[in-house]
Structure 1
Amino acid sequence: MFFVRSASQADLPKVSALLGRSWHATYDAIYGAEKVAEITASWHSLDSLKRRLARPESEFVVADDGKRIGGMAYAAMDKDETDVVHLHQLYVEPDLTGQGIGRDLFAEVETCFPSAKRMRLEVEAKNEGAVRFYAGLGFVEVGWTKDSGGDKSDIPGMIMEKVLSFPG
């Protein structure tokens, strides 16, 4: 059984490796293995993950069964829109999909930002499994970007949002 907990610096090599496996399994057929390796080397490097782990107003969690990291999620408050939290990453080991790990990771991240009114994410529209997953969590399409992930990536992405509600 996997438990969701806050990530630590010691988890980052395993998280980086998980992201590489997940990206190759999902995106090689869409972008090609070479482009995926290039993206992974940049976006999922230890330095990049360390910056995310240290970012204020963010949450970086992993699903851990005591033997392996089965998934990870990272979200952070928008620097300009103070009521928006961005779900930047939510990935599960390819051999563990469909076991509820993604839902557990999302459930944890969703509760970490009580001042947020909306959660936003970008997803590759050709990744139909991810689009269905997010729609099942209550996300709806609100737009498109030509630079998913930022930094002039030239990777198109669907923008999805979910209205958050907290008791109170």
Structure 2
Amino acid sequence: MELSKIQPCLWFNDQAREAMEYYTAIFPNSRIRSIETYPDESLDEHFEGMRGKVINGEFTLDGVDFVCLDGGPVFQLSEAVSFVVTCADQDEIDYYWHALSHTPEAEQCGWCKDRFGVSWQIVPANMAQLMTTPKQVQTMMAMKKIVISELEDAGL
């Protein structure tokens, strides 16, 4: 299996292993490819307490390759980067929303944040067709989770 030339890398404080297990359980056709941990001999004052944590994790989510690491609290995830999950229907939107949304105050217009701080956009595959009128756009802007039927009704 050939890996993607470009792969997103997720920096976690100390939850990389837990995140990989969580994500691969949610998405079909997913697996953890490898986990390398910080060795004892590399530990110095910069890596104190990191022994056994993930220095390099590789995983695939429904055909998309990712890498991740436990790097400590130096950097934080933000909404500046999100992953789009294109859904076939409302049932699929509901499934991913339920599995990934963990921070209600971060929810808007189909965007949610999971328990690790990663931002996701859970959207229908036909989102462009559901955004053709000003009323549909206004309806979507007032939503947290996307509800396809409400967007269809707003287009009438």
Larger Rg: 2
Please identify which structure carries the higher helix content: 1
TM-score by length of 2: 0.29
